[in-house]
Structure 1
Amino acid sequence: MDAETFAVEAAIEQDHWWFRGRRRLLASEIARLGLPPGAEILDVGTSTGTNLRLLRELGHQRVSALDSSQIAIDYVAAKGLGRVRLGDICALPWPDDSFDMVLVTDVIEHVDDDAAALAEVARVLRPGGAAIVTVPCFPSLWGLQDRVAHHKRRYRMGGLCDRITASGLRIDRKFHFNFLLFPAIWGARRMLELIKPDIASENQINTPFINAILSGIFRLDITTAPWLRPPFGVSALVRARKIRT
């Protein structure tokens, strides 16, 4: 991402409706895994630390993290959220079968070779371990945020699942989320394409009132999405496991 975009994320991720809601969703999905005490966890693409904040709140102690940007790593250090290694998801600096869970949240859309990235995630997972992957969905939603975040693509669920399966992982849970706001976000992005505001991130378009309203909508969304399984959403979540041999 651009340096300005990292700066915006670092400033808002603790309280912004999107980041808080996604942490709530991930907390629910992590709880479903029933991880053992002392589970080894890897957060790939840590960015400015939102997942490290979540894992700390959940009481996980054995957490490793990696990001490809020194700017992001410096923000994490300044927040006191832990040590992050500088590296590439396509060449993870850990041996085979190292982790019980790998978080890959809004990461692989930044990578030229997403198949290689997912293969690396599968490699470092222990047999029976789980990967939780989230991505932005639907090319029709392409806009400012995709450009400033240096996205390579937005996904369709089928294509995402094909890539994950090809990595050697077995999918056991999948759903779209942020579906309630899909029409509003589609319309807002078309408007932004017309007016071209001078901003570093869509996340700057917010006020305390808007944040409260959208937080309530997104809370309802992430509560209902896992069992409604809507056919569309701004994002998708897939949970997959490394098959025991």
Structure 2
Amino acid sequence: MLTLDYDRLDVRAGMDLLDLGCGEGRHTFEAYRRGAHVVSLDLSHRDLATTRTWTGAMDLAGETPAGTRTAPVVGDLRTLPFPDASFDRVIASEVLEHIEDDASAVFELARVLKPGGLAAITVPRWLPERICWALSDEYHANEGGHVRIYKASDLAALCRDAGLEHTSTSHAHALHSVYWWLKCAVGVNRDAAVVRAYHRLLVWDIVKKPALTRVLESALNPLIGKSVVLYLRKAA
């Protein structure tokens, strides 16, 4: 399940791409499939091991261009272990909302991006997130949970202060907003039948991609999309 548009980010073969806070690699995989040389960075050794397993499986299945490289790296977004101007593209998806010092993380992202390079940052959108916080403290008040709710304009200003130009915005995963509202309403850790049923619907939608739900989500994304995506450029 991808949150950002790789065509809008213009990810091409041979580029050096950094996936910050990659988790188990869902955004790494598409970049790698397109032939980018991907560095996947995360604090979790376990998640990076999963990422390594799946990229290896992609290689064995012949899903990646010959010569394409990938490397998992344990690291902190606030102090990236890379020289200035190392990457053509940088992705930071659903990670800044977990970091107290998000300004340092955005500055580091801008530092390692090459002049003229492009970046995409995604965070939970203000309205769906505000509803989740209102319904449940368990949703965010836990170790490693969300520490803030972003307005897109505030995040764009933070990026501008780091030297990144905000070029466009999109929204994604409206159907997932409903899932989280249900989950927060009945209890985040409660195994409720209505939540299980809606989760089965989401899995079916992700796997089958039926036209009806794709059209529905596309129409709802501008209104209740769970994530907001900022596309950015570093001055040449």
Stretch moving more, 104-113 or 149-158: 149-158
Query: 1:69-218 to 2 correspondence within 5 Å?
Result: 69-81=44-56, 82-138=70-126, 139-142=130-133, 143=136, 144-146=138-140, 147=142, 150-179=145-174, 182-183=177-178, 185-192=180-187, 196-197=189-190, 206-207=199-200, 209-213=201-205, 216=210
1:234–1:83 CA distance, 2 compared to 1 (3 A): same
Residue 51, structure 1, aligned to residue 27, structure 2: yes
Instruction: Please give the alpha-carbon distance, in whole angstroms, between the structure 2 residues aligned to 1:64 and 1:85.
Output: 7
Instruction: Please give the alpha-carbon distance, in whole angstroms, between the structure 2 residues aligned to 1:184 and 1:205.
Output: 7
**Cα shift at 1:125:** 0.6
Per-residue CA deviations over 1:181-218 (Å, capped at 9, x if unaligned) read 5456434422225xx4169xx899733x5522475476
**Cα shift at 1:96:** 0.7
CA contact (8 A) 1:112 1:152 kept: yes
Q: Tell me the SS of whatever aligns to 2:168.
A: strand
Q: Unmatched 5+ residue regions in structure 2?
A: 57-69
**Count of residue pairs brought into register by the alignment:** 211
Instruction: Please give the alpha-carbon distance, in whole angstroms, between the structure 2 residues aligned to 1:45 and 1:77.
Output: 14
Instruction: Please give the alpha-carbon distance, in whole angstroms, between the structure 2 residues aligned to 1:206 and 1:110.
Output: 24
1:30–1:192 CA distance, 2 compared to 1 (3 A): same
**Cα shift at 1:93:** 0.8
Per-residue CA deviations over 1:145-197 (Å, capped at 9, x if unaligned) read 5447522223222222222222110000113333355456434422225xx41
Normalising by structure 2, we get a TM-score of 0.75
Instruction: Please give the alpha-carbon distance, in whole angstroms, between the structure 2 residues aligned to 1:122 and 1:137.
Output: 22
Instruction: Please give the alpha-carbon distance, in whole angstroms, between the structure 2 residues aligned to 1:41 and 1:113.
Output: 23
Which of 42, 45, 64 is the equivalent residue of 2:18? 42
**Residue number in structure 2 paired with 1:11:** none
Q: Unmatched 5+ residue regions in structure 1?
A: 1-19
Instruction: Please give the alpha-carbon distance, in whole angstroms, between the structure 1 residues aligned to 2:23 and 2:14.
Output: 24
**Cα shift at 1:50:** 1.1
**Cα shift at 1:224:** 5.1
Q: Tell me the SS of whatever aligns to 1:117.
A: helix
Residue type of the partner of 1:64?
A: V
**Residue number in structure 1 paired with 2:233:** 241
Q: Which has the higher helix share?
A: 1
1:35–1:137 CA distance, 2 compared to 1 (3 A): closer
CA contact (8 A) 1:178 1:221 kept: no
Instruction: Please give the alpha-carbon distance, in whole angstroms, between the structure 2 residues aligned to 1:35 and 1:76.
Output: 19
Query: 1:8-47 to 2 correspondence within 5 Å?
Result: 20=1, 23=2, 25-26=3-4, 29-35=5-11, 37-47=13-23
Instruction: Please give the alpha-carbon distance, in whole angstroms, between the structure 1 residues aligned to 2:50 and 2:7.
Output: 27
Q: Tell me the SS of whatever aligns to 1:38.
A: coil
Instruction: Please give the alpha-carbon distance, in whole angstroms, between the structure 1 residues aligned to 2:197 and 2:156.
Output: 32
